[in-house]
Amino acid sequence: MRQRLKFYVSAQSTSLRAHLLEQVVFALCSWLPGLPGIALRAMAYRLILHMRGWAAIEPGVRICQAGNVTLHDGVYLDHGVYLHACPAGIEIGENTYVMHRAELHVYNFRHLEQSGIWVGRNCIIGENSIIRGQGGVTIGDNVIIAPHVQIMAVDHVFDDPTRPILEQGLRAFGITIEDDAWIGAGAIVLDGVHIGQGAVVGAGAVVTRDVAPHTVVAGVPARLVRRIQRPRAAERRAGIARQLVGQR
């Protein structure tokens, strides 16, 4: 029983003392609705996590390993959001919105060194999306993640047919999504994928390979649909500007 209790506390918090403080803060503040609740949590949650400015946290947000969570100024956590961090943490950048029932989860019980989730500025993580960060997930600035997206930076090893898959361990290489990308509704991004700047992933796509910058991919598995190019008028203006610079 003692071992199970120790395991529970270690999964929920960074220490027994931190766990007790977090539970008191949650009991007093996590349920209060409206602006008074948001204001109270913006102040009280500084006792249990790292705030770099003021964050708006709605009622019903669940946070485990709060001492490993960093929220920057202007972050918004909607109702039912679930954050589960690891020692390397979850960090959410300025003015990023994490919408209803989204889950950012890094339960690193396998002690993978690269585990963590880092989200940039001005991003949107849509409703019911799941980000698993055992292999490390890095998301740039101005990224749009539509509802029901799954970003899964972890995979099971299953090469030995004589052993249960559960006993064969994990492999995790990590996922990177660069600035200005848009991940369409219901898409799945699998471990080891790098999505380039300004890329678009179509709704329902399953991304198993890298996506080049400024391209559109779709399908199962995701394949190139087209390249995103500047309008011809913009290209002409850019060419004229280059010529003028060259003449100086």
- Residues 16-56 have pLDDT tens digits of 999 999 999 999 999 999 999 999 999 999 999 999 999 99
Of the two residues 2 and 137, the one the predictor is more confident about is 137
The label of the residue with tokens 């796509």 reads: 205
C-alpha to C-alpha distance for 177 and 93, rounded to whole angstroms: 14
Asked if the model's pLDDT at residue 6 lies above 90, the reply is: no
Sheet containing 223-227: give its strands across.
56-57, 76-77, 97-98, 124-125, 144-145, 182-183, 200-201, 215-218, 223-227
Q: Enter the CATH code of domain 2-247.
A: 2.160.10.10
The label of the residue with tokens 């390979």 reads: 209
From the list 105, 156, 194, 214, the catalytic residue is 156
pLDDT value, residue 238: 62
Ordered by start, the domain boundaries in the chain are 2-247
- Catalytic residue flag (residue 19): no
pLDDT value, residue 246: 61
Asked if the model's pLDDT at residue 248 lies above 70, the reply is: no
Averaged pLDDT, 137-162: 95
Question: 3-state SS of the chain: helix, strand, coil percent to 5?
Answer: 25, 30, 50
pLDDT tens profile 169-211: 888 899 999 999 999 999 999 999 999 999 999 999 999 999 9
**Both ends of the chain: CA-CA distance in Å?**
78
